[in-house]
Structure 1
């Protein structure tokens, strides 16, 4: 049986402390990297979906992903994300900058969203999966 989207991840669910604050952040970030709004609480790139649910802060019953990498189609997109992050005084971990220790073309910006989730937007045309 052939699947419409192939194998892989269908969606990611983010538990957040303040739904409106998170949605405001992602409504600005996602269009910069080619994602669009599906409905009030979810976004897609056409193959994958990310959606958000507000949860009580005291609910910590599992460990999560260390960070999520969003592929950028160019270095210019990474630079635009970096400029936007600087304009909102976001918590930038590193970049935009090259990461030559990985591959010659790896170019990234790493940062935290309003919940402290670590995100990466990177251009990596020469990366091998």
Structure 2
């Protein structure tokens, strides 16, 4: 039996403190980087899914990933995300900027979502995965 996807991440589940705030943030961010809504709480790029669940703060007793980096298809996409983040008064950690210490073509913006999750959108045309 042949599977439609290559090995990789099937989905990522985020536990969030405010589901409406989180989904509103991602509903605007994701179309900028080529993702689309599957339903009110789930989004996909066609290969992977990210979905959100509201959880009581007292229940969240585990640490998650440091950050998630989304591919950008061009530097312009990174710039568009940076502009959108500024309009949102989002917590921008760095960028948009070049990161030559990683790779001469690495162009990124790093920021926090409404829950404090660290996200990155990077154009990395010369980086081999």
Q: TM-score range by the shorter chain?
A: over 0.9
Partner of 2:56: 56
RMSD: 0.7
Offset at 1:50?
A: 0.3
4+ aligned runs moved over 2 Å, structure 1: none
Aligned residues: 129
1 CA distance for matches of 2:95 and 2:2? 40
TM-score by length of structure 2 reads 0.98
How do 1:61-76 residues align onto structure 2 when only pairs under 5 Å count?
61-76=61-76
TM-score by length of structure 1 reads 0.98
Residue by residue, what CA displacement relative to the aligned partner does 1:20-71 show, whole Å, maximum 9, x if unpaired? 0001000000000000000011000000000000000122322210000000
Partner of 2:80: 80
Unaligned runs of 5+ in 2: none
Unaligned runs of 5+ in 1: none
2 CA distance for matches of 1:47 and 1:5? 7
2:104 counterpart SS class? coil
